[in-house]
Amino acid sequence: MAAPWRPINHGLLMGFAILLIALAVVGSVGYWGWDARAYWAVDPQHPYAMNLGELGAYLYSPAFAQVVGGIGRLVPLEVFLAVWTMGAVAALGWLGGPWAAALLLFPPVALEILYGNIQLLLAAAVVLGFRWPATWAFVLLTKVTPGVGLVWFVVRREWRALGIAVGVTAAIAALSFALAPALWGEWFGLLVGQAGHPTLDRLGVLPLGPLWLRLAVATAIATLGGLLGYRWPVIVAAALAMPAVWVTTPAMLVAIVPLVIMDRRDPLSAMLPMVRPTRLRWSSRHSG
């Protein structure tokens, strides 16, 4: 029998998504999908035509552009944003479990869904990555720097999981490179240009320091989590290591909910034990 909170929880989430879509359409889109428009409009042949900080600028890898590119030619913007919004709400529902609807009261979560970035999807990829390490490819081929969370697997000596995460990412990148090698040169040039660029720090509205400092602290957090045998510090490290820390970045922390539950139900012995790859029980018990 379904838990009594589920119909209410799911109903509130669906109602929020429908209200957001209705208000956005009536209001001629407005701020709805501010970030998601870049995915809808990206030209897979020329994805880096816009500069850092411009509305609609695409900053992810060519591989992601080759997957989502051309959507704007197939469906109207409003249809794409409606589907994207539903996907973000579904990710929140899975990550937040019985607290998902209440998490909408946390401004970064509501704004993340409104703007349509990928941070809830990144959080889901990190959680799933403890069972299916291949999902880390999504992290590494989009925001890149949150991949510092993989240090956890190094500390835990989970070489198989680490190898899958890196191997799948490399395989996707190799295929993408074979299709458009010049784009990878452009992307690497973009990444180098962004590193330490003052524009990047100005774009992030939360004053948590420059990227190099946040990466160092994030690495320490992921390392400590591995040493102590806890998974939830990985999402904290990933959020802190984002290229720019926006007001919506803390939305990634909703992944603490399933990760804490995983830690309680499947505890790891501390101090570098040789353990089997961890199992994601949250999805089987709380999906649907």
Give residue-wise pLDDT tens across range 116-152. Answer: 899 999 999 999 999 999 999 999 999 999 999 999 9
pLDDT at 285 over 60: no
User: Comparing 77 with 53, which gets the higher pLDDT?
Assistant: 77
At 76-123, the pLDDT tens digits run: 888 888 888 888 888 998 898 888 888 888 889 988 988 889 999 999
Which stretch of 69-83, 162-176, 238-252 has the lowest confidence by average pLDDT? 69-83
Determine the pLDDT at residue 147: 96
Rounded distance between C-alpha atoms, residue 87 and residue 243, angstroms: 23
At 253-274, the pLDDT tens digits run: 999 999 999 988 877 755 444 4
Q: Is the pTM of this model over 0.95?
A: no
Determine the pLDDT at residue 115: 87
- DSSP for the chain? ---THHHHHHHHHHHHHHHHHHHHHHTTSTTTTTTTHHHHH--TTSTT-SPTTSTT---S-HHHHHHHTTHHHHS-HHHHHHHHHHHHHHHHHHHHGGGHHHHTTSHHHHHHHHHT-SHHHHHHHHHHTTT-GGGHHHHHTTT-GGGGGGHHHHHTT-HHHHHHHHHHHHHHHHHHHHH-HHHHHHHHHHHHHHTT-HHHHHH--S----HHHHHHHHHHHHHHHHHHT-STHHHHHHHHTSSS--TTGGGGGGGHHHHHHHHHHS---SSS---PPP---HHHHH--
Cα–chain-centroid distance for residue 208?
A: 19
pLDDT at 276 over 60: no
Give, rounded to a whole angstrom, the gap between the first and last alpha carbons of the chain.
12
pLDDT band of residue 2 (cuts 50, 70, 90) is very low
pLDDT band of residue 286 (cuts 50, 70, 90) is very low
Residues 141/64, Cβ–Cβ less than 8 Å:
yes
pLDDT band of residue 8 (cuts 50, 70, 90) is low
Residues 187/65, Cβ–Cβ less than 8 Å:
no
Report the pLDDT averaged over residues 169-183: 95
Determine the pLDDT at residue 107: 87
At 186-242, the pLDDT tens digits run: 998 888 776 555 545 444 456 677 888 999 999 999 999 999 999 999 999 999 999
Question: What's the number of CA atoms in the CB half-sphere (13 Å) around residue 68?
Answer: 20
Rounded distance between C-alpha atoms, residue 201 and residue 237, angstroms: 18
Provide the token pair at 184: 């990878």
At 18-41, the pLDDT tens digits run: 666 655 555 455 667 788 888 888
Residues 165/133, Cβ–Cβ less than 8 Å:
yes
Determine the pLDDT at residue 259: 94
Residues 245/208, Cβ–Cβ less than 8 Å:
yes
Provide the token pair at 207: 């004053």
Determine the pLDDT at residue 54: 65
